[in-house]
Amino acid sequence: MNKTELRTLIRSRLAALPAEERLEKSRQICRWVMESDVFRQATVVMAFLSMPYEVDTTPLILQSWRQGKTIAVPKISWEQRHMIPVEIQSLESGLETGKKGLRNPTGGVPVPLEEIDLVLTPGLAFDVQGNRLGRGGAYYDRFFKNPGLSAARWALAFSFQVVEEVPVGPEDEPVDAVVTETGILLCRKRTQSGGQ
């Protein structure tokens, strides 16, 4: 199955997931993350602002604030085709909803990459090797190539988004773990030497 076919398949499964079930599974996924040592030890967490049909990160973001953590989210520049992490302190203000329901911060202070401990990553499909199929814009792939970023990369997904094999190209960047409602799947270790 190529990337286009896999995207179509997973999108249809996501659209078919009842809203109540999506929220319940999202809460369980957030619980797995919040109970992990990686999350407990993190002071700066980069989360994503969930789009419709994605894992809802709201419980995780709210709990992070309660624990005094800094929450960064991607601020996307469509023209320059890149994203930078900016700190947010509210889910109610300072956000605009743009392309396909994506919420984007209107302002926000940029967070240095070196300070981020954990990046929570969206995507359409993942495999046990940590390969990730995004929506096709390669924003996270380019972001992960930043030499200053050494944070753990954890993907949040529903269990049906984990497939046997994700087709990958030379520019595709893997994740370290995939967290679903059934638990945390640790993937192969990325090489850390020289910022590779």
Residue 86 lies inside a defined structural domain of this protein: yes
11-28 tens-digit pLDDT: 999 999 999 999 999 999
CATH number at residue 92: 3.40.50.10420
Give CA separation, 49 vs 9, 53, 90, 134, 164, in Å: 23, 12, 11, 15, 27
For residue 135, what are the domain limits? 3-189
Number of domains present in the structure of the chain: 1
pLDDT of residue 108: 87
Q: What is the pLDDT of residue 192?
A: 43
Does 64 reside within a domain?
yes
pLDDT tens digits, one per residue of 122-153: 999 999 999 999 998 899 999 999 999 999 99
pTM, rounded to two decimals:
0.93
Which residues, including other chains, have CB under 8 Å from residue 171's CB and lie 6 or more apart? 138, 141
Say if 12 falls within a structural domain.
yes
Q: Please tell me the predicted confidence (pLDDT) of residue 53.
A: 93
Average pLDDT estimate for 2-9? 95
pLDDT-derived band at 196 (thresholds 50, 70, 90) equals very low
pLDDT band at 80 (very low <50, low <70, confident <90, very high): confident
User: Is residue 129 domain-resident?
Assistant: yes
Give SS3 for 50. Answer: coil
